[in-house]
Structure 1
Amino acid sequence: MHRRNNTIVPDFILLGFSDAEDMQVVLFMLFLLIYLVTVLGNAGMMLLIRLDAQLHTPMYFFLSHLSFIDFSYSSIITPKTLKNLLTSNKKISFAGCFIQMHIFVLLVAAECVLLSSMAYDRYVAICNPLHYPVVMSPRRCWSLVFGPYLVGVTDCFVTVIGMRKLTFCDSNEIHHFFCDTSPLIALSCTETQDTEIMIFFFAGCTMLGSIITISFSYVSILSAILKIKSTSGKRKAFSTCGSHVVAVTIFYSTMIFSYLRPSKSYSLGKDQVASVFYTIVTPMLNPLIYSLRNKEVKNAVLRLLQKREVSRHLK
């Protein structure tokens, strides 16, 4: 139990976008639209990959898990944010707040590592195409998917240990629209240095390890592409990586800004903008990036529509 002025404090208050009260309805409509696109896009991508046999490849196997993660962590944050934008009751229980935070940490850490698994997949496909079916065997693919979730669980466990050391006695108002580590640490009335170091270290290791893997993969990929003599071959190789590069750039640029810095430099306005991108906008963009820039996904959609049309005529 957490106490304030010798009374039991049962919840936190998510102040969210309270400094933009005249924009509440506009933000609600915007975030609702984004969330609907996120749900339809990611659920549609998972369903399409499952139904179309030609998409049963390592690349789309990883993409289906990316869609699952994006759908999941958007769904643990956006619905509560939408509710808070329309109502004056912005409370969230202590248990609900920490559950939201820990699940979010798990999923974001998993996505960090999954993006590096996807970069490795592209590295093998372009740099060792003849050995691709052997190297990216079903067993290897499952290992490259299980690993991100394992890292996510580890980071979540570390966060649980670190946050358990904190007490909240002066205020229960969180200057954010969801329960994240930085605003919660800033809210604590106890010494937070050990918790900050622990969380910063493990988050940094997760991000840095993933960034190094992605960088190594794409340096090797670029080197291999430059050796290709035909223009069409270079264009095809670039097209297989373009979507992933865009997704990685958007995801890491906001994540690094938000997490790989001390909480003393926490800024409500800047952090909220960055947080909106990686919690609400990025999960919507990923399925759009991978579908609009990908002929195989477009062809899979056409095949699915054609099958549906044929089956309707047969009836």
Structure 2
Amino acid sequence: MRRLLVIAVALAAVTGAGAAARSGALDAERADVVAELRTMHASIDEAARRGDYLTGAIEVAEKEVQARDDVLEVRPGFAAEIAALRVALDRAQGHVDTSADRAAALSAQEAVLAERADPAVVANATATVHALAAKIDGDVASWAAAQRVRPGGQAWASSGPDGYARVRAALDRVGGAGIGLYESGSCAGGNTPACASSDGYIKYRADIAEWGEGRLNWAMAHELAHIYQFQVWGALNSSAAYDSMFGHDPEYLANCMAVVRGFPGSVGCDGDQQEWASGIWVGAVR
């Protein structure tokens, strides 16, 4: 009996040890499976994140490619306007001062060359160059008309050739080379020392030939400003900004335009007014 009990106890111990071993093996296997599942889930999550990243990157690249295509599509129009501007500049050579126009065109060209994404930048530059060409053509037409003011006659009377030469030099100095000029006492019946015609020429009263250089330069810059105003007269008088900033007063605007050119008179203007007035010199009404 005692022998049987010992055998039973030994058998139970062996059986328990085997069960424990199998349980430990199952736990280890279960842990391996859980670890593998976790690794698999991590790989799936990483793949999903990678897929989202690639999808986003593809969308960004497609948008960039489309933007470049849009820019390239409008560039030929800009090139055509540049070609037209060159023709206008050639016509103006020796007749009209185009230094400000050339600077504005160069700025527009640099903006187009640097742009890679926004076709609106190219479109705006194209419009600017088109306006510059039209302005130069208008300047040339005004110059041609001014040359017919006194065909074959003298441009001075009492001021004499020396007085005329002095006023002419002042007008050229402020950017009015090629603008017609002659002496006349008809500006407001002689009450105004100088005046500009919408036909593109300037008249001066004889006594201003004796003015100091600073005052004479300002007077010519002021009258030259009126010539440029006439070229955008319709748009100018329709501008709300012109009304709010200058009260629709062309004399005030002309004073400010002269300041922009570096020839201030007795009436100044603030920075915002100067910035706005500078646009009139290049045919832009904002």
Q: TM-score, normalised by structure 2?
A: 0.26
The structure whose RCO (Cα within 8 Å, separation 6+) is larger is: 1
Report the structure number with the largest CA radius of gyration.
2
